[in-house]
A and B are shown apart, each in its own frame.
Chain A
Amino acid sequence: MNTTGDINENEIRVVGTESNGGDKKPFPKWIWAVVCAIALLVAFHLLYHEPRNAEPAATAAKTETETETRSIWFNNVDASMPAATVVRDTVIDSLHLRILTPYNATPELHVGKLDTNDRDIVLATMAADLRRDNGKIVGAFVLAGEPLSWGLSKKGYCAIIDGQLTLGTAENSPLFEQATERGGYFFRQYAAVDGGKMVPNNPENASTRRALCLLDGKVSLVVCLDRVLMNDFSTSLVKLGADNAILLVGGMADGWYRDTDSHATQLGSKWTKNHKYINYMVFRKQ
């Protein structure tokens, strides 16, 4: 049984049994000196070799050279039905997947608390992760042309420009810059599927998971109702036929959808806090 520090998936620990460290030998002073020297060198390097302006993602996008795989969705339009989410359930590799496809709705991002009584919302689900230290958004994020966050944390991205939703995988994407120039939206998340191939991620804990996918030419939110490892979920998305997919906030993250009977169904737990940077992917009635 583990009694100190980090824990791996094969260990358990009774809470409160962690050692207070009293019997541990402290690091020798020379190790601290070496660490400080390295930190100073790194700081010096960053100070004099990195651009000082706070627009790294946009600048980097201009020098983008690597091939970028993207899937573009134009519109999930079907004039024979109302603006609503169509629900399909399937099982792949013993995983129960719920496929939520919004029709006749426009995608956008929303930051802040979302009005659960807004009947124009066809589908809403939490989008980008928040940093635990300062509560801000992880990775680049553009809201209606306004960049709220910069930097690369995850290679997957979703861009919405002129109503057109794009899912892709790239370290730098010119779509970040385009979103800022054309009043669009952009956010980063873990890539799950890129060009029909599974994108491996560092193994994490098992959890119920969600992904935004391009499936059969339409964008859909796929929810895994079982607790599953990230890579197993990504594999199931490939078998489902996803061309491109990025993971969204999973677990008990807030969200809901409105079906063809205009009945709203909650995903996860309702978010009651008024967190400044809580953000949603929203499909709103056209």
Chain B
Amino acid sequence: MQEFLVISTSVDLVRVASDDIVFVSSDGNYSSFVFASSESRIVTLQLGQVERLLAKQLPQSGSNFIRIGKSLIINRLYIHYINLHKQLLVLTAGQMVSHTLSASKEALRQLKELIEKETK
């Protein structure tokens, strides 16, 4: 069954299917959600708060999300390419849209190992 993440404030509410979230990036007090449609939305939550919301509201699909360092949460469903030397992580949503992100080599090495381990 599809799970939804709901972010509610005193004046508005965002409801999004968990599989539509490609990644969430942090910039201080803000977090930017990027969706499979390539649209994005900024919320006034820190990334740690977003992480806790994902864990709380998505009991089934929450484990699809992986926190990478202090600034990124990615949806592993969209991982397409990891390059340790270039410190690149490419997430692909559909055939036309890809997002090139960067992370530390060590974090990417752990991510690569995790994906390898789970596919064995």
Query: A269: which B residues are within 8 A, CB to CB?
Result: 32, 40-42
Does chain A have a CB within 8 A of B37? no
Asked if B44 and A135 make an inter-chain contact with CB atoms under 8 angstroms apart, the answer reads yes
Contact B55 A129 (CB under 8 A): no
Q: Distance in Å from the Cβ of B89 to the closest Cβ of chain A?
A: 11
Range, interface on chain A: 35 or more
CB distance from A211 to the nearest CB of B (A): 14
A15 touching B51, Cβ below 8 Å: yes
Looking at the assembled complex, report how far the CB atom of B1 sits from the nearest CB atom of chain A, in whole angstroms: 17
Give how many B residues have a beta carbon under 8 Å from the other chain's beta carbons.
Answer: 43
Min C-beta distance of A248 to chain B, whole Å:
11
Contact check, B28 vs A129: say whether CB atoms are below 8 A apart. Answer: yes
Write out, one digit per residue, whether chain B residues 61-87 have a CB within 8 A of any chain A CB (1) or not (0). 011111111111100000000000000
Interface of B, helix, strand, loop or mixed by DSSP = mixed
Chain B proximity mask over A132-156: 1 for CB below 8 Å, otherwise 0: 1001001000000000000000000
Contact B63 A251 (CB under 8 A): no
When the two chains form their complex, are residues A251 and B27 in contact, meaning their CB atoms are under 8 A apart?
Answer: yes
| Cβ of B46 under 8 Å from chain A | yes
Please tell me if the beta carbons of A252 and B102 are within 8 angstroms of each other in the complex. no
Judge if A274 is at the interface, Cβ distance under 8 Å: yes
Contact among A7, A251, A274 for B30, CB-based, below 8 A? A251
A204 on the B face (CB < 8 A): yes
Q: What's the Cα separation between A131 and B28 when bound, in Å?
A: 10
When distances are taken between beta carbons in the complex, the residues of chain A under 8 Å from B97 are none
How many angstroms from the CA of A87 to the CA of B111 in the assembled complex?
A: 39
> Is A273 among interface residues, defined by CB-CB distance under 8 A?
yes
Nearest CB on A from B106, distance (A): 4
Known A-B contacts A1-B114, A130-B29, A207-B25; A10 and B104 likewise in contact (beta carbons under 8 Å): yes
Q: Given the complex of chains A and B, what is the CA–CA distance between A95 and B1 in angstroms?
A: 43
Question: In the complex where A10-B106, A10-B107, A252-B40 touch, is A274 in contact with B25 (Cβ < 8 A)?
Answer: no
A and B contact pairs by CB, cutoff 8 A, 15 listed: A7-B70, A9-B71, A10-B106, A11-B110, A12-B68, A15-B66, A15-B67, A130-B44, A205-B69, A205-B71, A227-B102, A251-B30, A268-B42, A269-B40, A273-B9
Given contacts A13-B67, A16-B62, A205-B71, 7 further A-B contacts (CB under 8 A): A1-B110, A9-B104, A10-B69, A15-B55, A16-B58, A132-B44, A249-B30
